[in-house]
Amino acid sequence: MDATVFYDYSKHNLLNLKEIICKLDMVIVRNIEAEQFFSTMNENVINIPDDVVIESLLTEKTIHNKPRVALALHSLRESDWRFLLPVIQHYSERIDWIIYGECPAELKPNIKEYHRKVVKKDFFGTLLHLNADLALAPLERGNFNRHKGAFDVLAWQALGVPCFASDVMQYDSLTGIKVIKNKASEWKYALQKYLEQAYVLKSEAMIFNQE
Spatial contact of 70 and 50, defined as CB atoms under 8 Å apart = no
Whats the size of the chain, residue-wise? 211
Residues paired with 92 in a beta bridge: none
Angstrom distance (rounded) from CA 73 to CA 120: 15
At residue 208 the predicted structure's pLDDT band, cuts being 50, 70 and 90, is very low
For the chain, which residues make up each domain, given as ranges?
3-47, 58-210
Nearest to 138 by CA among 98, 105, 183: 183
Spatial contact of 1 and 9, defined as CB atoms under 8 Å apart = yes
The three-point CA angle 79-85-86 to 5° equals 135
pLDDT, tens only, 49-107: 666 665 665 566 677 789 999 999 988 888 999 999 999 999 999 999 999 998 889 99
Neighbours of 39 (CB within 10 A): 14
Give the phi and the psi of residue 141 in degrees, each rounded to 5: -70, 145
Angstrom distance (rounded) from CA 137 to CA 148: 13
Q: Which CATH number fits domain 58-210: 3.40.50.2000, 3.10.20.30, 3.20.20.70, 1.10.1840.10?
A: 3.40.50.2000
pLDDT at 169: 87
Collapsing DSSP states into helix, strand and coil, what is residue 179? strand
At a CB cut-off of 8 Å and minimum separation 6, what does 101 contact? 72, 73, 74, 75, 76, 115, 116, 117
Instruction: Name the residue with higher pLDDT: 1 or 167.
Output: 167
Sign of the torsion formed by the C-alpha atoms of 194, 199, 204 and 206:
positive
pLDDT, tens only, 22-50: 877 677 777 778 878 888 887 777 777 66
